[in-house]
Amino acid sequence: MNLWTVALTVGAALALQHLLVRLFAFRGLEYTRAVSRNTVYAGEKITLTEVIRNDRPLFIPWMLVESRVSSHAVFGKREDLEVSGERYHRSFFTLMPYKQVTRVHQVTMKRRGEYALGHLRLTCGDLVGLGSAVKEMDQDVFVRVFPARLKLPVPYLPLTGAQGEITDLRSLMKDPCFFSGVREYRSGDSVRDIHWPATGKTGTLQVKVRDPVGSVNLMVVFNSQLRPDQWGTLTDTEQEKVEYGISLAAEIIAWALDRGSGAGFSCDMTLGVDGDEPMILPDSRRGQKEKILVCMSRLVYRRKKRFVTYLNEFLKYRDMDILIVSAYEDSELKEKMRELESRHKSVSLCLTKGAGLYK
C-alpha cells in the first residue's frame, strides 16, 4: 500500500467520522444535571451532578458542556473542569460507545439570591476538529440561597431607640426560657422548673418563676442605604455590607419566631428589577420564617425611594413593634421614628455598626 493510498484511507476515515459526529452526535445521547439541595444558606455547599449516557455504538472524541453561572456560585477545581472568570462552567467528556459518565462538583453558594443552573450548550466534535455539532437545552435546575447565618448572640444585639437609649431585644419579647426569680414548690408545678441550687440552699423545693411571653408583633424593617445620601450602583464592598444587614434582620426574625412571637419583614429594596418593595406583616403561624427567607432571597439592589420616604408606608398600620435595621442614624430618621411612635407600640433602631459590622 503506497503513501497515497494510506493518505486517502485516513482522510476517508476522518471524513466519515466527522460526518457521523455531525449527523448522529445527539441521537441516543442523554445528558442530565441535578443539585443535591434546592435551598441553602449563603456560604453553604451544594453538590452538582452531571450524568451523560452514550447509548449507541458511536464514539464521541470530545464533548463540551457549557452553562452560564453566577460569580457567586464557586466551583471546586478539577482537571476536567474549567470556569472562565467564574462566569461560564465548562465540562469536557470523552464518550465511549455504550458508556455512562458521572461527574460530581462541589459548589459553594457565596451570596443570597436565586440561581438558575439549567441552561446548557452541548458541543460534540470529531478527532481533528473538522467540525462540530451544537445543541442547546434547558433543564429545571434551580437553587435558592437564603441570607447567610450569623454567629451572633441575637438576644443581646444593641438596639438604639429613637431617644438614644440602649436596650436589648428581650425588652420587646420576654423569653420563656429565662426566669425572674424562685419560689417554693406548689402542687402542680413542673419538675423541670425545680431550681436545684436554690433548693439545696433553703432545704425546701424551690421552682423558677418565669416571665410571661409578651404579645409582640415584631416588624423588622431593613434600610439598604448605607448613608443618608446614598443612591445608584453599589460597590462590591457596599454590597457585602447590605448582605450583612439582611442576614442580621433574618436572624432577629428567626429568633422572634422561634419563641412564638409574631414577626414580619419589609425593606426598601425591590423583589426583582421590576418588582415592588416587600411587605410581609407580622405573623407567628407555621411557614412564616420560610416565607420571609424566600422573600429575602429575591431582593435585588434597586430602590424606588429614599428610606425615610419609604417609612411612610407604616403610617397606615397600627400597633406593631417596629425594629429598624440600619447602617446609620441621623436627625431625619429619628424624626420619622418619632412620627411612627404615635401609631405603634414601639419603634426601635438596631445599628449594624453596633452589631459588629464596622470595627
Task: Examine the domain organization and report whether 280 and 344 are in the same domain.
Answer: yes
List strands edge to edge, sheet with 113-116.
39-41, 142-146, 113-116
The answer to the question of residue 357 being in a domain is no
The answer to the question of residue 11 being in a domain is yes
**pLDDT of amino acid 49:** 94
Task: Examine the domain organization and report whether 166 and 299 are in the same domain.
Answer: yes
pLDDT 10s digits, 17-61? 555 566 556 787 889 999 999 999 999 999 999 999 988 887 888
Could you give phi then psi for residue 186, rounded to 5 degrees? -120, 155
Query: Which long-range contacts (C-beta less than 8 Å, at least 24 apart) are formed by 241-245?
Result: 241/327, 241/352, 241/357, 242/301, 243/42, 243/111, 243/112, 243/147, 243/148, 244/150, 244/352, 244/357, 245/325, 245/326, 245/327, 245/352, 245/357
What contacts 306, CB < 8 A, 6 or more positions away? 225, 268
Task: Examine the domain organization and report whether 138 and 158 are in the same domain.
Answer: no
Task: Examine the domain organization and report whether 46 and 191 are in the same domain.
Answer: no
Contact 327, 355 (CB under 8 A): no
pTM comes to 0.76
| Nearest Cα to Cα of residue 244 among 108, 354, 107, 87 | 354
The answer to the question of residue 111 being in a domain is yes
Q: Which residues of the chain have pLDDT under 50?
A: 154-167, 172-177, 211-214, 356-359
Task: Examine the domain organization and report whether 85 and 101 are in the same domain.
Answer: yes
**pLDDT of amino acid 210:** 58
The answer to the question of residue 74 being in a domain is yes
**pLDDT of amino acid 353:** 76
**pLDDT of amino acid 12:** 52
**pLDDT of amino acid 357:** 39
The answer to the question of residue 98 being in a domain is yes
C-alpha cell, 347 = 419603634
What contacts 90, CB < 8 A, 6 or more positions away? 64, 65, 66, 81, 82, 83, 84
**pLDDT of amino acid 175:** 45
| Nearest Cα to Cα of residue 354 among 150, 153, 160 | 160
**pLDDT of amino acid 213:** 46
What contacts 331, CB < 8 A, 6 or more positions away? none
The answer to the question of residue 359 being in a domain is no
Split into its structural domains, the chain has a count of 3
The parent domain of residue 43 ranges over 3-18+25-146
How far apart are alpha carbons 38 and 46 in whole angstroms?
Answer: 9
Domain boundary pick from 166, 194, 210: 210
Task: Examine the domain organization and report whether 170 and 184 are in the same domain.
Answer: no
